[in-house]
Chains A and B, each alone.
Chain A
Amino acid sequence: MHNNGIIAHSKDNVCTIVQELKAKDTIMIKDANREENFHVIQDIPCFHKVALVDIAKGKEVFKYGEVIGVASGDIKKGEHVHVHNVESTRGRGDRK
């Protein structure tokens, strides 16, 4: 089987999956620093993101080696990372 998770940058704590995964399916990742297989813990649509490590609430989420937002709750390794658990830090007129 091929890798089904793309890690854009070695600094990233999330990857993009290139096929739809169901809970307990195996995600296979490989980049310069790591090669690992682990289970996703819920159903995740194709091209969405999966946590590569536990990310605590308030910690930065990295993709492309850059900050794409901050965890709005504790995120477990293998969990779907999206709008329900990541907040943007930019354009936040609601926080004035």
Chain B
Amino acid sequence: MVLKGYKRENGTYGIRNHVAIIPASVCASETAVRISNLVPGSVALPHQHGCCQIGDDLKLTIDTLIGLGKNPNVGAVLVVGLGCEGVPPKELVEGISETGKRVEKIIIQDLGGTLGAIREGGRIASEMARELSQQERVEFDIGELTLAIECGGSDPTSGIASNPAVGYASDLLIKNGGSSILSETTELIGAEHILAQRCINEEVAQKLFKIVQDTEDRAIAMGTDLRSGQPTPGNKEGGLTTIEEKSLGCIYKAGLSPVIGVLGYAEQVNEGNKGLYVMDTPGQDIDSITGMLAGGAQIVVFTTGRGTPTGSPIAPVIKVTGNSSTFHKMQDNIDINAGRIIDGEASIQEVGQEILNEMIKVSNGKYTKAESLGHKEFGIYRIGTTF
């Protein structure tokens, strides 16, 4: 299957062509947003991190920002630093530059403050946007696509309808040479033994068990019942009773393909080894999606039972619900109604094929509902405290 996208210098293909304005820290975030507001074709990735972090937590933020800059949907990057933050802007530039794409940086303290930074940042970003506007889409094989699979605001229809349908679409993508990423480690608790049987070898299976155990141990260390936050209040109101029940429904999103690898948060998918990956991310949707996009995914398929408006600054998010009532209530936000499976109007395979067809259209440029409403939810996972 042939799609049309933007060829990058390193041989990957983007399905969007953004100038990304990446602040190195919370202190540079507002300035990055203001530059982006001036420049059509650019997106800012404002966040609350980047300073007074240490160790693995600091590294996670750096890896995430570099991974997002490397994402094939990003054609050029402007890094905005304050000048004294913990995340070195220079390191972000060097990391992202490995892809061969144009990367520049500005430092607010060196440019005399807000106005100077906006002036210089606006000049560079608008020049990048003009360059990217001349790039034409070229043909590429669907096997170059990496799909980020997410679920949020789940209810019992997710495990019955939307997740199995997305799983079918994911399996089709993988059969055609692509990769998919299943994430949200919290939502593997109680279902890890099933997924482990599908791991290609013992090493991958042990890695999977370890990320789930580590997540459960962190929850237990809080001294309270995980159920106070997971399943969420909305999950419970919808009818999900325990994390085990939620997880057993969640893993249907990954279809039936073998698990070929387990990735850390924001770790890059191995382009030479295509198939189904599991990424160690939290169950919170926004942070989870960020991890997978930093890992290289160009497109997101997001299942929901209760409904959610979530989008992303750099990747299209296709929303699928298994709940027909939610689809009709939230038509502004939901692209595909998999509730037809429960209503007896369509099979899992039919809706799965429909999801793949929509992925193809969206890859070729069609806006998702989240994109057409300008949704750009963004967050980065933390594993340490701020000092």
Contact = CB atoms under 8 A, between A and B. Distances in A.
A28 interface: no
B51 to A, nearest CB: 31
B190 A66 contact: yes
Contact of A48 (B190, B219, B221, B239): B239
Contacts of A49: 156, 239, 241
Interface residues of B, number: 35
Contacts of A96: 220, 223
Interface residues of A, number: 30
A26 interface: no
A68 B190 contact: yes
A94 B224 contact: yes
A75 B29 CA distance: 53
Specify which of B222, B245, B323 lies most central, judged by the most chain A CB atoms within 10 Å of its CB.
B245
Interface stretch (B225-233, B273-281, B347-355): B225-233
A9 B221 CA distance: 34
Interface in B162-211: 189-191, 194
A48 B191 contact: no
Contacts of B226: 88, 90-93
A15 B128 CA distance: 56
B235 to A, nearest CB: 10
A64 B249 contact: yes
Contacts of B248: 63-64, 66, 68
B224 A93 contact: yes
Nearest to B222: A93
A82 B152 CA distance: 20
A91 B239 contact: no
B242 interface: yes
B244 A69 contact: yes
Interface in A42-89: 45-49, 61, 63-64, 66-69, 81-83, 86-89
A23 interface: no
B178 to A, nearest CB: 27
A26 to B, nearest CB: 19
Contacts of A66: 190-191, 194, 244, 248
A88 B160 contact: no
A37 to B, nearest CB: 19
A90 B243 contact: yes
B288 interface: no
Contacts of A48: 156, 239
A49 B74 CA distance: 45
A45 B305 CA distance: 14
B220 A92 contact: yes
A48 B237 CA distance: 9
A68 B225 contact: no
A83 B219 contact: no
Given A64-B159, A83-B241, A91-B243, 7 more contacts: A6-B342, A8-B159, A18-B342, A47-B155, A48-B239, A49-B239, A64-B249
Interface of A: 2, 6, 8, 16, 18, 45-49, 61, 63-64, 66-69, 81-83, 86-94, 96
Interface of B: 155-157, 159-160, 189-191, 194, 216, 219-227, 230, 236, 238-239, 241-245, 248-249, 305, 323, 325, 342, 344
Pairs A-B, 10 closest by C-beta atoms: A91-B226, A88-B242, A68-B245, A48-B239, A93-B220, A91-B219, A69-B242, A47-B156, A47-B239, A64-B248
12 contacts: A47-B238, A48-B239, A68-B248, A82-B239, A83-B227, A83-B241, A88-B227, A88-B243, A89-B244, A90-B244, A93-B220, A94-B224
